[in-house]
């Protein structure tokens, strides 16, 4: 079963930022899909139930962005 996580991301300024964050998400075990929109500062993540909100927060922060 997968869970949808919608998060607000701060610090993205261009499409490259969105693409980078998507690549990092998709490289992590348990992430099924990731759609990141820098214009709206939002990411929609579909992940299996083993991925926690904390895991997602750590992924975002490890790429140099913050959560709102």
pLDDT mean by block of 10 residues, the chain; 68 residues: 96 97 98 98 97 96 96
Assign residue 13 the CATH number of its domain: 3.30.70.100
Please count the structural domains in the chain.
1
Q: Dig out the tokens for 67 from the structure.
A: 């959560």
What does the alpha-carbon distance between residue 60 and residue 56 come to, in Å, rounded to a whole number? 6
Burial of 61 (0-12, 13-18, 19+ CB in 10 A): exposed
Domain that holds residue 42: 2-67
pTM for the full predicted model: 0.91
50-56 LR contacts (CB < 8 Å, sep 24+): 51/3, 53/5, 55/28, 55/30, 56/5, 56/7
DSSP letters along 17-30, please?
HHHHHHHHHHTSTT
């Amino acid at each position: 079963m997968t869970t949808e996580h919608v998060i607000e991301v701060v610090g993205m300024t261009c499409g490259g930022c969105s693409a980078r964050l998507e690549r990092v998400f998709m490289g992590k075990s348990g992430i099924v899909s990731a759609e990141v929109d820098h214009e709206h500062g939002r990411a929609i993540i579909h992940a299996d139930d083993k991925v926690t909100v904390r895991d997602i927060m750590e992924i975002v922060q490890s790429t140099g962005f913050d959560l709102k």
